[in-house]
Amino acid sequence: MIDLFEPVAAACRIHVPASDRRGIAIVGAGAIVDVAHLPAYRSAGLDVVGIVDLDITRARAVADRHGVEHVYRDLDEMLCDDRIEVVDVAVPAQAQPDVARRVLHAGRHMLGQKPFAPSVAAARDLVRLAQQRDLVLAVNQQLRYDEGMMAAHAMVALGWLGELTHVSIDVDIWTEWTSWPWMIETPELEIWNHSIHYHDVIRWLLGEPDRVYAVGGRTKGQAPRGETRSVTSYHFESGATALVTAHHENSFGDPHATFRLDGDQGSVRGTLGLLYDYPSGRPDTVEVMSRVVPTDGWVPYPVTHRWIPDAFVGPMAALLDAVSGGSVPLTSALDNLATLGLVEAIYSSMHSGEVTHLLPDAGLEQRLFT
Ligand SMILES: NC(=O)c1ccc[n+]([C@@H]2O[C@H](COP(=O)([O-])OP(=O)(O)OC[C@H]3O[C@@H](n4cnc5c(N)ncnc54)[C@H](O)[C@@H]3O)[C@@H](O)[C@H]2O)c1
């Protein structure tokens, strides 16, 4: 059985070619850079040259903690540093397009945080600009590189589940939204800032849906203005279905975060370990049952890495590979336009109370630029 898992383990390996030691600078010295970006890049041996933040004291503290050599006074100073080939931007979505435009105009390849932009329209302009300047632009939509999710995706790709018919993700946790003061006043909260990862993964597993239906909710007395609960159901032309449920007001200390993939020949079930004690959590769990393999009941796949920080190597490694002439990053900004479009469609359903129909899958480029 261990040998059987070798192709799954191979699919989960994140490759950082030794020749890709390019100078990286980071914009934003916030919580996620501190706990995820910098620890991940250090363990992968990447070359982080410097960092900048509007709050220079915060940037200095983060740089000291992680041994980052240079703290820039501002973005202009950073973009004058010839050693920088790649800029990793990790600021709130509202601030990201302006930073991204400046980075791309300065001729640097860029990785943006999720959500990549506050709207498809803003993101589309950035994708166009990167294309015109022949620069690689990708998004840190890193749940696709979380080992449990990668293993589940690999099992689908190996045919162990037969035809994939249903995917469900069910999260019931406490989220301390006040840790991000800029999120408190936003009228659309949960999906833009959290569940976007799950919706992106649903696209990765099942392709583009033909319709979605969503409801959202708030809890009396909660601090944030926007929704802190969402339930989204999907339908695909193939007949496949999906369901994403996220609830962030669990105050009783019994969080759960599960995923399940069902096919006509097998199923995968697992947990997203990070969400049991954010931001360290534990490794995911993954089990598979398959008539194709075949397995004798549920068989556990041994997960050894964590969402935070390990998955954060993935989008950056893929971007560096693309800069060196490798393949298009799995989480390219072009691909991410469809994730943002899906999020907008989900909110449209939530606000109208109606099903939102999406355009049929006519090819990403054609669908997103016409
Ligand atoms: N798993 C994930 O993918 C994940 C998890 C958490 C946060 N995020 C995303 O990462 C981004 C940052 O989140 P965070 O938790 O670090 O937030 P944070 O509030 O802790 O930090 C944000 C930082 O960005 C800085 N900043 C804002 N605008 C700037 C600008 N124009 N130039 C330079 N610095 C600027 C702020 O001063 C602050 O230090 C957000 O978009 C968030 O959605 C992603």
322-339 burial string, b = 16+ CB within 10 Å, else e?
bbeebeebbbbbbbbbbb
φ, ψ for residue 64 (rounded to 5)?
-65, -45
> In this structure, which residue's CA is closest to atom 27 in ligand 1?
91
Q: Which residue has the tokens 């069910």?
A: 170
Mutate to test the pocket of ligand 1, among 32, 114, 173 (most ligand atoms within 8 A of CB): 32
pLDDT per residue as tens digits for the range 259-285: 999 999 999 999 999 999 999 899 999
What is the Å distance from ligand 1's center to 28 Cα?
A: 6
Could you give the CA distance from residue 257 to residue 261 in angstroms, rounded to a whole number? 14
A 10 A CB-CB count for 30 gives 20
Substitution candidate for ligand 1 out of 91, 99, 194 with most atoms within 8 A of CB? 91
The Cα–Cα gap between 343 and 195 comes to: 9
Which residues sit with their C-beta closer than 6 Å to ligand 1? 27-33, 52-55, 58, 90-93, 95, 99, 113-114, 140, 142, 180, 193
137-194, pLDDT tens digit by residue? 999 999 999 999 999 999 999 999 999 999 999 999 999 999 999 999 999 999 999 9
Q: For the chain, which residues score pLDDT lower than 50?
A: none
Residue pair 233/243 in contact (Cβ under 8 Å)? The answer is yes
Q: What is the pLDDT of residue 10?
A: 97
